[in-house]
Amino acid sequence: MNAIKICSVFAREAANIIKFAITKTKLTVSANSPSVGEDTVDIEIKLNGEENEIAFNAKYLLDMLSAVNEYVLVFEMNGPLNPGVFKIKGDDSFLHLIMPIRVQE
């Protein structure tokens, strides 16, 4: 949640877009704004599947994370244009979908 909060400061002027770059050992959360600058935060993860990238609205991520009091979450995705699925590890009663934002590189 702290990584999203930090990056959201930089994302405010860029439509609140926060990017996730997922590799085998880390999740890189990033945001940039031409007038403010850019920020990148790395989070250690365990990846099952392929490396990928996806972008979300920071507000939707913060809303979801503020409602969850868990330290470990499971994130699932099938591609950068499909919804991101957030789950609590070991709790089948929680499921949260967030639609991604299409980002042109």
pLDDT tens-place string over residues 2-20: 999 999 988 988 889 999 9
pTM of the model: 0.89
Q: Return the pLDDT at 13.
A: 83
| Angle, vertex CA 64, rays to CA 38 and CA 77, nearest 5 | 75
* pLDDT tens-place string over residues 61-70: 999 999 998 8
Task: Please list, in sequence order, all residues whose beta carbon lies within 8 angstroms of the beta carbon of residue 3, skipping any fewer than 6 positions away.
Answer: 29, 41, 43
Give residue 96's pLDDT. Answer: 96
Residues making up the chain, counted from first to last = 105
For residue 42, the one-letter residue type is: D
Starting at the edge strand found earlier in the chain, the sheet holding 73-76 runs: 73-76, 84-88, 91-98
Enumerate residue ranges in the chain where pLDDT < 70: 105
How far apart are alpha carbons 66 and 50 in whole angstroms?
28
pLDDT number for residue 12: 87
- pLDDT for position 105: 63
